[in-house]
Each structure stands twice: as structure tokens, then as C-alpha cells.
Amino acid sequence: MKILALRLANLASIPGPLALDFTAAPLSDAGLFAITGPTGAGKSTLLDALCLALYGGTPRLRQAPGREAPLPDVGDATLNTADPRTLLRRGTASGFAEVDFLGRDGRRYRARWAVRRAREKASGRLQAVDQSLRDLDDDRLLTNQKREFDRLLPECLGLTFEQFTRAVLLAQSEFAAFLKADDNERSDLLERLTGTSEYSAISMAAYRRASEAKKAVETIEARLADDLPAEAEARAELERAAETTQRALTDLQAHSASLQARQRWHEQDDQLNASFQRGQHDVDTAEDAWSALVSARQDQAWRRVILPRRHQLTRQAALPGELEALEANHQKTQRALTDAERAQEKARFASEAAERTLVEAGEARRQAEPALREARELAQRLATQDQQLAELERTHEERRRRAAALAEQRRQADAAHARRREQRDRWHAALERLIGDHDGLDSARQTAQRAHDAAAQRRLELGELHGRWQDACRAEQAHQTLKTRLADSEQRLEALLGRGQAARQRLDDAERHLTSIQAFVERSRAVRSESVARLREGLAEGEPCPVCGGLEHPWRHRPPASPEAAQLAAQQAEEDRQLAQAQDQRDRAYQQRHDIEGEYRALKASVTQQGEDLGSADRQRAEAQRTLDAHPLQPELSAIAAEEREAWLGRQRQAIEAQRDEQRRILDELSRAEAELAPLNRALHQDEIELARLGSQQSELEQELAGLAERLPPLRRAREALAADLRARLGDHASPDAWQQHLDARQESARRDRDTAQAAHHAAQTEHQRLAQQASHEAERLEALRRERDALAAELAEWRQAHPELDDATLARLLAQSDDEAERQRRQLEDADQARQQAAAALRERRQALIDHRREQALVEADDGEPALLDAPAEAEIARRREALGEEREALTPRLNAAQQQRDEAAHALHDDDRRRRRQQDAQAELEAARAEHRRWGRISELIGSADGKAFRRIAQAYNLEQLLEHANAHLGGLSRRYRLVRGGSELGLLVVDHDMGDERRSVHSLSGGETFLVSLALALGLASMASGELTIESLFIDEGFGSLDPQSLALAMEALDGLQALGRRVGVISHVQEMHERIPVQIRVEPLGNGTSQARLVGG
């Protein structure tokens, strides 16, 4: 993976547009470059742009709070602090970040991140981010969709965002803290740096699951302890109580059942008695309804008498009306018959007139037939001549159009032929110009090809010469740089040697001065101790003072203040001050000598390495010069002044390039002329053939048109004569067919009139016959009805004399009554009679059922008989018994309820104990399963579990630390052969193995600033190797870690960075340390301009 270019505009403090091309000088020639500028200028904005273009986010923003900390935008819109769009520069309408990179597959890609505001105005709302990925080798857009971009980018680049920030963007300061941390802090840092937080989560999860399993066991055990079953004696007592209460309840329930049986007898007796009373009521109701139908019963009796004569009586009543209607119809028929006779005569006259008209029309058609035939023949001849004339005119017009088309085709063919002839002449002229003095086309082509090949060969040789010359210049420049650097280092080494000797002298002087001060102080204090201090310290309680002989020593521990004591204290303080001052001078001299010694050793090692590098550069310079001297064009180059060689090479390459292009143009024109002339010659030949064919066709058409023009006038005159003769014969008719149609229409109209008149005459005859027959029939019908009326009158008069009580009104009413009404009255009488009979039968059944129900109850004396069971004494006895039963049931109810409650309580206690026993059995299995789960998670938690995740984290991070140290030592070997990192001291402890000290293991805290930087950088590179796996990363950006280095450590750091670029990596260092600016010639300087604006510019060495 390699970063090829970075472009940005309007991001944070950099308005841009800014373009950094790492494939062009000076960045392409510099393995190490610096991103410099004061704090806050916007150096990290370049790395933000790099991450934005590739991943749409930055490490800083991903650590920011989200929606909990909104930022105001234009209007009332807000953005959360983690939104990458907050990097868009204020007051701008759009911005972008774009990165070209070499992917894991060796192809070049371009990733772009862009944001804009609505309507491209600075006051518009922010729109959604646009991201795109393009394959530069094929110039093909791979995607512009965010979801697809997030999937394709890691595949093409070979790194996820987390891997990129650990493998390409190296925060060296984190590893310096990593070195000096204790085990817990180192575990946390290692977890964060390697992105392996899942091990802490697993450790906490194992601890949590073990705790949950333990709580589950305790919960089940507590539940079982609170739900114990009864003991054996209590269980037996529960069973006896349940059995006793059940027996008592059974006895009372039997007594209650007998009372319920007696109650049911009374309820059934009430139902039977009520049913008997309803039956008596139904009988009375049916009898009343039957009595109310007396008139209907009389009508029913008369209908039975009338029924045999009902038809005759009905017929007698209908005959007068029928006779009257028939007489009226007969008179109407007679009048219609008279009218029909007059219409028949009129229709006969009309039929005879129509027949005469038809005969006249036929005669006229027959007389016109010869003239019509002659007119039809003339019309046929005229139509034939019209057809011939039209065909001849169509042929003439078609030949005329063909002639015009041929003429246009001939004109176009002539024009095309002329154009091709002109093109052929032009290409002939160009070919002759290109051939020039050569013998022919092949000779000219070979000459141009040889010149082209010679120019191409010289172009290649010039390019190779230019490359070798640049290599030689770079080798010479590198040699001079190393030589100058070595001379500077040797001078500095001599200066350091002199400073070291002076420091050694100062240290010796300081040590001698300290020794003399210490000796003087010791002698002074020894004298004082002999005279005062030692005598006071020798005093003991109860023993006499050797000076005064006293047995009490009040000033033994705290002597009294006196001028001599104050003077003694001041003298001692002055001695302490002189001693401390001398010791401080000795320490400063020692530190200066130690610092100079360390700087001398570092510079000595650097001088040695620079000597080796100078030897290697000298060999490279000699090899580059030898390669340059071996080039065939070197004599030409050596004749040019050194300062003009670059321009001379450029002019030579331009000239040879122009010469090659000219020969290539000649070759292309020769080939094109040859390729163009062959088809032009063939086309001209075809044009000549086509022109000859068109000329022949034109001649034929002109002859044919002349013949047609001669035939048309006579034919038109003959046609006009025929047309005049036909018009004279037809007269007012348009054509013979029209004349024929007129005659046919006249004859057909007469025939239709004749047929209509005959049909009317026939219809009148038919109507007259029908009316005559109808009048005869009506007369016969009138006579028959009169005879029927007289016969019915005689017969019914005799029947009425036999039934004198049937008056005319009753007879008329019954005859007028409809069949439906008679049938309704009949059904009403039948229903009433049936209801009366059914009510009587039901009453008998209910009476017997009530007697049967009371027979066995001894309600009356045995001699009284069954009817007595329905009397009042029996009813009184039943009421007395019902009252006694109610009192007995009321007394039994509380006893039964009490027994039921006792039985239920005893059964509930027994069933509750049964449930407890079942729950105990079920819970035992659950408890065993919970204990097994607790044992399993407990063992796992013992191995890796902890509440804070430290247990498994340390195990896992120990493995990660081994891998990190393996990768780090591989890099550390290239940076410094003196040290190697190993684990030791504790589970996650770190030690350094010092090969210069016999592989002594030292604490990492004993490393100097520069050594700490080397080890930290090796750790950072090791983590980058872990993150990238097998992917080769050629671009690194190192941030932080240089501001706190002293000059000696900074020199070691710079040598380490030089070693990195020697390994084939382009390294970008972000720092605001001035010394690094002076040491790194190629820089991207970010300079603040004020008002929150910075500019970035590229500075070459």
C-alpha cells in the first residue's frame, strides 16, 4: 500500500486548493519529509483529509461525543461534534478531500470525499456526503454509493480504518507511555493499540455468567427452603382429617338429597296442578268459541243444500248480461259488414287501374330496347378507348419520371466521379511529394522507417543517458552530503572531546574541593566534640559531672542559650552550606561530564555509521560514474558544461522526439496515401461503367417517349367523337345504365302499385267474408242462449218450491260468496270443533296425572276415593307438608355448609402438601442443572473471569505482547543493534537486553530519551506490522514524540528515521520542533495567515 497523491480544498483552516503529489519531485525523491508549522496551524488537517478521503471519518472525530453535543450551523440547523462535515471551512459552499493510492493488487485508485451546501451557497444547508472510488488504470468509476464504497475501499487498500490508523498513522507518544506503564496500564494500552478489547469483554462475561449461575443456585435453594412438604406424622394427620370430614359431608349430602327428592315432589305437584287448572280454562275457552260460530254453522248447512244446484243457479244469474252483450256485438258486426262491401268494390276499381299502368310501362320498355342496346355498345367502345388512353398516358408519365430520375442519377454519378478524380489527383500529388527523389514508394517507406528507427533508438539512448546521469548526480550529491556531514560530525566530535576533557578537569577540581571541605569540617567538628559535645553526651543520671561534680544534669539534652552556643551554631550552619555548595558543584560537574560522555558516545557511533555510509556512497558514486562512462553517448555529454547538461539533454530529447514524430508522420502519410489510392482507382473504374449504363438507359427512354407522344393525339380525337354520339343518343340520361335503370324503375313501380291494389282488393274480400261468417255465428249463439235461459227458469222454479225457507237474500249472499271465503269459514268451524275436543282430552289426561301423582302420599282416607285427592282437604295437607319441608331444609343448610368447608380445608391442605412434594421433586432436577451450570462457569471464571476483565485480558495481552515484541525486535534490529526487548519482571513486564553490556537485562526506565524514542518507534512499527499482516506498507506518518527530546536524543531519532527510509518506506513526520526542520530538507509547511486561515506549501531541499 502506497499513498501517491493528496488533494484538498476548504477543510478546517486550509482553504486550498492544495495538491501534494508524492510521485513527483521533490516528494518522490525524498524518503523522509516533514509536515511543519506552529501549534494550531493545521498540520493534522492533512492527516484528517487523508482519512476523510479513504474512510469518511477521522480518529479525532470518532472519539468526539455524538448527538449529546450539537454544534450550531446555518439558520436553526445543528450538527453533532462527531459529524465529519464539521471540517468544512466556515463561509464556504463546498469542500473535498481526494487521495490517489497504490492498492494491494498493484493498481492505482482514487478515493474522493466531498461535501457541499444547498444551491452551492455558503448560507445553504449541508447536504449528504458524496464518496466515490475510481480505478485510475482503467479510468473507470467503481462506485459512488456510500455502502458500496465502505465495502470496496478496504478490499482495494488492504486495510480497515482501525488497521490504517495503527499501521500508517503512528502516534509514537502512546508507545513511550506504553514503555513506562505498569502491568495494568500496559494491559489497557496494549488492548487499545491492538484493538483486542473483546478479551476483557470475554473475561467480564465469564465472571458475570458465573455470578449469575451462583445466584440462580441460591435462588432455587431459597425457594426450596421456603416450600418444604409436611413431615410423615403431619401427613398422616392430614389424611385422617380429610377422610373424617369426607364421611361427615357424605352423610349430610345423603340427607340433603332425600329432602331435595321431597322438594322435587312438591314442585312436580305444583306443576301438575297448574297444568290441570290450565286445561280446565282451555275447555271453557273452546266451548265459548264454538258457541260464537252459530251463524257460520247455519251458512255451512245452506251451502251443503245449494251445492248440487250451484252451477245452475250461477248460470241463471249470468245469462241476462251475456245475452245483452252478445246482442250489442251482433249489431256492430252488421254495420261493419256493410262498410266492408263498399271497401271491396273500391279496391276492385283500383286494381284494374294499376294493371293498365303496368301494361303501358312494359310496352315503353320494349320500344326503347334497340336504342338502349346501341347506346350501351357506344358506351362500351368509349370505355375501351378511355382505358387505352389512360394506360398510354400512365406509361408516358412513368417513362418521363424514369427519364428525370436517370438524369438526376447521371448528374450525381458525374459529380461523384469528378470528386473521386480530384481526390485521386490530390493523393497522387501528395504521394509524389512524399516519394521525392526516391525510386519508388517502397524505397521512400524504407528510408523513412530507417530514419524513424534511428530517432527512436537515439531517444531511448538519451533517456537512458539522462537516467544514468541523474543517478551519478544523486550519488555525487549524496556522497558530498555524507562527506560534509561526516566532517561536521568529526569537528563536533573533536569539540566534544575538548569539552569532555574540560568537564573531566572541572569534575576533578570539584571533587578535590569537596574533599578538602569535608576534611576541614570533620576536623572542626572533632575539636568541638572533644570539648563540649562529647562531655555532654557522656553525662549519666546519678553520676557526678567530671567538670562541676554535680549529680543533676539539667542541660544534658537542651543546653542553655549563650553567645558561645549561638556562635557555635552559626559556625556549624556555615560549614553545612559550604559542604552542600561543594557537593552541588561536584554533582553538576559530574552531570555535565556524563551528558558530554553520552553525547560523545552517540556522536562516535554516528561518525562510525557515517563513515560506513560514506564508503557505501563512494562505491555507489563510482558504480554510477562507471555506468555513465560506459554509455555510448557519454562523449557527447562530457563535451557539455556540467551546468548546461540538463538543458542540453532536454533539447536533444525534444529534437529527437520531433525528428521521430516527423518520420512517423511521413510513414503514416505514405501508408494512408497508398491505402486511399487503391479504392479510389477501383471506384473510378466502377464510375465509368455506371455512367455508360446510365447513358444507354437514357437513350432508350427518349426513343420510347417520342413514340408515345405521337400516339396520344389521334386517340384523344377518336374518344371525343364517340363521347358526343353517346351524349346525343342518351338525351337527359347520364349513361345507358341510367337509362335502363329509369325504365326498370318505372316498370317496377307500376308492378308494385298493381300488387298493392290486388292485395288491398283481396284483403277487402277476406274481411267481408269474415264479417259475414261472424254475423251468422252471433245470430245462432243468441238463439241458443235464449233457449238455455227459458229451460233454467223452469227447472229452478221447481227447486225453490221444494225449499221455501231459503229466501232470495240468503241465496244471493251465498252465491256471491267466493270459494276462498267459504273455505275459510269451513276451516274455522273445523278448527273450533277440533280445539274443543283436544281441550277436553287434555283435561282428562292432566286430571288423571295429578291423581296418580298424589295417590301414594296418603293425603285422604282410603275410603274417600280418588276424586277426593283433588278436594280442599288434600290441598291443605300438601301445603302443611311443604311448610314442614322448608323448615327442615333451612335447618340442614348451615350444617351442610360447615361440613363442606371442613372437608374442603382438609382436602386443600392435603393437596397443597402434594403440590409441595411435586415442586420439590421438580426443583431438585432444576437445582442439579443450575449447580452443573455453576460448576462449569465457575471453572471458566477461575481461569479467565474477573469483574474488571483483567484476568483474561492479561493472558491475551501477554500473547499479543509476545507478537508485538517479535515484530518490534525485527524493526529494532534495523534501528539499533544494541538493544532487544523481552518480557520479564512481571506477567506483562518489559526489559531491554543490552548486547553491549554482555546481554545484561535492564529496566526500560533506564533508557535515555533517544533510546526511549528508538524503542518506542520500534514498537509503533511492530504494531503497524501486526495491523497490516502480509500487506507491504510503503507510506508512514509519525505524529508527536519529538518535542521533549534533547539534542543527543533528537540526533538518534533522526538516524532512526533515516534508517526507516533506507528500508524503502516514505516517512512523513509531523512536528513543530525547529531542529527537525533544519535536519529534514523536504517539508510541507503549514503557515497561519490570521483569521483562522493557513496556507500549506511544499519546500524542497
Average pLDDT, the chain: 80
User: Can you say how many angstroms the Cα of residue 40 is from the centroid of all Cα atoms in its chain?
Assistant: 41
**Ramachandran assignment for 632, one of left (phi > 0), alpha (psi -120 to 50 degrees), beta (any other):** alpha
Q: Which residues contact 937 (CB under 8 A, 6 or more apart)?
A: 206, 209, 210, 212, 213
Choice among 64-78, 116-130, 392-406, 688-702 with the minimum mean pLDDT: 64-78
Q: What is the pLDDT of residue 99?
A: 95
Does the pLDDT of residue 844 top 70, yes or no?
Answer: yes
pLDDT tens-place string over residues 632-667: 888 888 888 878 888 888 888 888 888 888 887 887
Does the pLDDT of residue 936 top 80, yes or no?
Answer: yes
Q: What is the pLDDT of residue 173?
A: 53
Q: Provide the grid cell at 62.
A: 470518532
Percent of the chain with pLDDT over 70: 87
Does the pLDDT of residue 1031 top 70, yes or no?
Answer: no
- Other beta carbons within 10 angstroms of residue 376's beta carbon come to 17
pLDDT tens-place string over residues 404-460: 888 888 888 888 888 888 888 888 888 788 777 777 777 887 888 888 778 878 877
How many CA atoms, within 13 angstroms, populate the side-chain half-sphere of residue 213?
20
CA distance 43 to 1084: 9
- Give the pLDDT band (50/70/90) at residue 551: low
Q: What is the pLDDT of residue 54?
A: 92
Does the pLDDT of residue 172 top 60, yes or no?
Answer: no
pLDDT tens-place string over residues 123-142: 888 899 999 999 999 989 99
User: Can you say how many angstroms the Cα of residue 915 is from the centroid of all Cα atoms in its chain?
Assistant: 55
> Which amino acid is residue 947, in one-letter code?
A
Q: For residues 809 and 505, which has the higher predicted lDDT (pLDDT)?
A: 505
Does the pLDDT of residue 532 top 70, yes or no?
Answer: no
CA distance 949 to 139: 50
pLDDT tens-place string over residues 939-989: 888 888 888 777 787 787 788 888 888 888 887 776 677 888 988 877 778
pLDDT tens-place string over residues 264-293: 888 888 888 888 888 888 888 888 888 877
Q: Hey, what's the torsion of the CAs at 12, 13, 17, 19, to 10 degrees?
A: -90
CA distance 745 to 684: 75
CA distance 442 to 435: 9
Q: Which residues contact 403 (CB under 8 A, 6 or more apart)?
A: 698, 701, 702, 705
Query: Is the pTM here over 0.75, yes or no?
Result: no
Q: What is the DSSP string of 967-1027?
A: HHHHHHHHH-TTEEEEE-SSTT-EEEEEGGGTSEEEEGGG--HHHHHHHHHHHHHHHHHHH
Percent of the chain with pLDDT over 90: 5
pLDDT tens-place string over residues 377-402: 877 877 887 888 788 888 888 888 88
**Ramachandran assignment for 633, one of left (phi > 0), alpha (psi -120 to 50 degrees), beta (any other):** alpha
Q: Provide the grid cell at 388.
A: 387505352
CA distance 458 to 443: 23
Q: What is the pLDDT of residue 1028?
A: 55
Choice among 108-112, 287-291, 629-633, 671-675 with the minimum mean pLDDT: 671-675
Does the pLDDT of residue 5 top 90, yes or no?
Answer: yes
Q: For residues 580 and 1051, which has the higher predicted lDDT (pLDDT)?
A: 580
Range 383-407 burial, b when 16+ CB lie within 10 A, else e: eebeeebeeeeeebeebeebbeebe
Q: What is the pLDDT of residue 807?
A: 72
Tell me which range, 9-18, 70-79, 803-812, is most confidently predicted by mean pLDDT.
9-18
Q: What is the pLDDT of residue 530?
A: 46
Domains in the chain: boundaries? 233-292+823-912
Q: What is the pLDDT of residue 534?
A: 53
